[in-house]
Structure 1
Amino acid sequence: MGFTTCRAGRVFAVRWTNTTVEGVERVSAEAKRYQRSLGKELIYVSVTGEDCPPPSEEARNALVDGAKDLASVCERIFVVLEGQGFRGSVLRSVLASLMLLSRMRNTIQVSPSVEEVLSSLAGSPGFEEGLVRRAFLREGILLSPTGTE
C-alpha cells in the first residue's frame, strides 16, 4: 500500500514506505474524514523513514498540494524525515526551503524524529502523550519505545 496510518485523539499520523500520488490522495481523504468525525482541527504527523525511496516529482508535487489542502483542517502539521546523517539533514533543509517558497513555513514543522514531535506537543491542550505514544507504537509510526528509530 505504501503507507500506514494511525489515529489517536486529535492526532492523525502516516508513515510512508513508498510515497505515490495515489497514496497521498488516499491519506489526505482519510485525514479529512477523520477530522470531520472529530469536529476539531487535527494534529497531522507525516513520517518518512530512511529506507523509504525518494518520491517521484509527481508525488512530491502531490505532497505539497496535499499539505496546502490539509492546512485548512489541521492545527499543526509535522513532517518527520528520519535520518541522522548528511542525507537526512539535507532532505530536511530542502523541505524547509520548499515550505518557505510555498508560504507554508508557519504551518509545517520539519523534524528529524517522531520523538521530537511528541516532545514538542507535550503539554498542548487536548494532547494525551501516553495515548498517542501507545497508538504510534502499535501501528508502526514510532518504531521503538524510546524513539530511537
Structure 2
Amino acid sequence: MGYRVNKVGSMLVVRWQDMTLGDITAVRDEVNQFHRELGKPVVYVSITEDGSKPPDDDVRKAMVRSAESLMPVLAKLYVVIDTGGFMGSVHRSALAGMLLVSKLRNKVKVVKSLDEVLSLAAGDIGLDPNSVRSQLSAAGMATG
C-alpha cells in the first residue's frame, strides 16, 4: 500500500508514498465511506511526500477522474506538495495552473504544507488547528 490514512473530525488525510491505480480506487472508496459515516461533506487532504516518485500518466489521469467523482462529497480538497525549494514551487504552480482550466478549480487548493491547510481549513473542520496537528503528528501523518 502506497499511502496512509488518518481521520480527524471531518478531515480525512492521506499521505502518499507512491501512488498506484489500486490505491487511488481504494482511497476514493474510503473517502466515500467516510462521507456516509459523517453525513456531511469531507475535507480531504492529499499529501505527496518529498522524495515520492512522480505518478505515471495512467495514475495522473486516474487521480483527476477520482477527484472529479469525489467533488459532490467534499467540502474542500487540499493538495499538499510537501517538497521544498524550486522544484516544489514548480510542481505546485503546474498543478494550480492545470486546476484553473478543470472542473476542480473551485474546490481544490494546492498548498505547500499541512500547517497551511490547517490554517485555511480551521473553519471547515470546526476544530483547533493545533489539536489537529498534534493528532496527525502522533499518527505519523505530519512533518516538520
Q: State whether TM-score is above 0.5.
A: yes
Alignment of 1:90-129 (within 5 A): 90-124=90-124, 126-129=126-129
Contact 2:10–2:125 (8 Å) recurs in 1:
no
Contact 2:49–2:81 (8 Å) recurs in 1:
yes
Question: Matches of 1:125 and 1:57 in 2, distance apart?
Answer: 33
The residue number in structure 2 matching 1:30 is: 30
Matched AA of 1:108? V
How many aligned residue pairs are there? 144
Matched AA of 1:47? I
RMSD: 1.4
Contact 2:15–2:46 (8 Å) recurs in 1:
yes
- Unaligned runs of at least 5 residues, structure 1: none
The residue number in structure 1 matching 2:52 is: 52
Matched AA of 2:60? R
TM superposition shift of 1:103? 2.5
The residue number in structure 1 matching 2:133 is: 133
| Residue deviations 1:2-42 (CA, integer Å, cap 9, x gap) | 00001111000100000111111100101110110110111
Question: Matches of 2:98 and 2:53 in 1, distance apart?
Answer: 19
Matched AA of 1:57? D
Identity among equivalent pairs (%):
36
Question: Matches of 2:133 and 2:41 in 1, distance apart?
Answer: 19
Contact 2:42–2:73 (8 Å) recurs in 1:
yes
Q: Which consecutive aligned stretches of 4+ in structure 1 deviate over 3 angstroms post-superposition? A: none
The residue number in structure 1 matching 2:7 is: 7
Q: Secondary structure at the match of 1:122?
A: helix
Question: Matches of 1:140 and 1:84 in 2, distance apart?
Answer: 19
- Unaligned runs of at least 5 residues, structure 2: none
TM superposition shift of 1:102? 1.5
